[in-house]
Structure 1
Amino acid sequence: MFVKDKSLFSTNEETERVQRRWEGFLEFKLDLSRTKDLAAGAGEFVSSVDFSVGGQVWKINCYPPGSRREKYGDHLSIYLQLVSKPPKSVKVIFEVFVMRRDGKPCLSHFYSRRCMQVYPLPDGFKEWGWHRFTTGSDLKFFYMVDGVVTLVCGVIVVGGEYEPVSSVPHSDLASHLGGLLDCTAGSDVSFVVNGETFPAHRAVLAARSPVFKAQLLGSMADAKMPSITLHDMDPAAFKVLLRFMYTDSLPGDDELGFPPSALHCAEMYNCPELKRNCIAFVAKEENVKKTLLTDWFLLLVQKILSIIAELRKKLGV
């Protein structure tokens, strides 16, 4: 019987746009101590898990100790089968080699084989490979470890009128967490900022910030409170902070209210680099008039008097 450890299958699939070549390998473990039971039935075989290479699905079929229908006796028969729809005009290389007891591949001609086939196969053929790959007695004597022999099977697909289907999709983690924040499902804590309430999730905030971790999961009193009131914080700025914690992204300048909200936070929390960037933003020719003449900037100046002096210095007036 075969011991098929699915976790051992690893795809080493590469797309070379010029050569159009894809590769995949499968580690196959054969329990030779039970091959007699399997061989009792004519044509009995064991298949590997399905695996994808070159946009197609394949599997390996083994007949230990040999295919009875071919009457190859003690010889191990091993074949490659295409499970999905046959591609148009591609070359497929099938290779198999035995792993030695020290964990290294055996590259001897008797225990390492390679052959090529062109698809689609002739009518009546579903699999191809070797009727007499090697003898079961040799495998038991030289390569068996605790009753098991390890075979490595490789499939190389060259050409074809298709693209591989196993490309990795873009991560949508940020959109999922952002949706969680929007719908407030499962929220277990809320923040009150200047009368506005923001539901959130302790686990997410604790994972993203050591400050929130200490506040929400540590020994502080806030860890047991369902609602936390924050002082000296602008609701719009806190909303942006929460969005960043969940999605690792910031809104555009028009949504952020940059630089007034950011400038206020930079002054309040002693962030000199952020403050310099905000002052530089306001001092740009295209931003001076539309920033200095707004009501919210006048209110900000009343809270932070030093802004006028720093702006004059930046503007050279």
Structure 2
Amino acid sequence: MANSRKQPRVELEAEAEAESGPSCSRSLSETVNGSHRFTIKGYSLAKGMGAGKYIASDTFAVGGYDWAIYFYPDGKNPEDNSMYLSVFIALASEGTDVRALFELTLVDQTNNGKDKVHSHFDRALESGPYTLKYRGSMWGYKRFFRRASVETSDYLKDDCLVMKCTVGVVRTHLEGPKQFAIPVPPSDMGRELKDLLSSEVGCDIVFDVGDESFKAHKLILAARSPVFRAQFFGLVGDRNVDKVVVKDVEPFIFKAMLLFIYSDRLPDVYEVMGSSSMCSFTVMVQHLLAAADLYNLDRLKLLCESKLSEEINTDTVATTLSLAEQHHCPQLKAMCLKFAANPTNLGAVMQSEGFKDLEESCPSMLSELLKTFASGDENMTMLSGKKRTGSTIGLDLPADGSGAPAESVNPNGRRVRRRL
């Protein structure tokens, strides 16, 4: 969950003269940044929950702490009469005096770049980072946006809202004196091997895949894949073979697999198929996962699992769950089951095309999905009986939804205890 935002940092240097010469140290303060994208589907059905009732995102980790987004469709304040949407970021793990910067973004779903951004990062020099005292402490806006304005805007599409939250946890550490060092450039072995593949210099094997052919080097393939090693240099292999017909892999997937073998990097879909490709990155990675399992490319398989876990949604989760079961990916399988069994997602998942295929190809997954759903429902029942406390700071935004705070709910900085 790395963030490209330029990290603010504060450096303090101190020097002292000693008998052996000057010494120095440096205190370095910087932020560890991370982001989370939270999609609220079925917004119209969430309305009417009542003021103070919220929908929570899954927890996400930044800077060694867990965080969550709380979305109040009817607002947090009863006195606002459900005229505003309220959004808060909460510390969801144990912590004391956690200092952080925050940013909340309401995404423009027409891709016109008109996202509504409310950022604490831009005001860091004015008021400094915000301090959260303990688990349940919050930062956010009670009057995040006027509800009537959102419902007639491009932020709401297909009854869906998309929020993005960025957290920057402040870290400070002391650096001692550093010795002079000779800079060493990063390894470029992957680029050089990839150039060797594209130039076809020294190639000694040709793969016929569908109506396409690919040249490669037996030794490089054998070093990367136990399957190729056995095929070319094993007891039953033929080291003199110069052509192999591949029937179980699509040509563009085989090309993507070769690019990974030579570069140790997951290629993008345009690198494999060109700018005219109609194939999505998710579909390519789904097929590439199957190929990685076929040729025992463990690192590629894990890379595909990681990317597919980031792309889980109601349209893809059933297909990804089926792949995870067929190709023995327990972590990815568990994530898919957790997402699909969420009551918020289950209805849409069951209406997807992938779910129909899942019923036919992996009927055992239906019972596991039911068990996961039942387990989640039981946990929610147990949690509802527990009492938790937290603190909240709210900022009111102008009625037109502009980014500048109009008035602080707690101008004297008092913390208000609340029940979660």
Shared fold, TM over 0.5 = no
- TM-score relative to the length of structure 1: 0.43
Indicate the structure (1 or 2) with the bigger Cα radius of gyration: 1
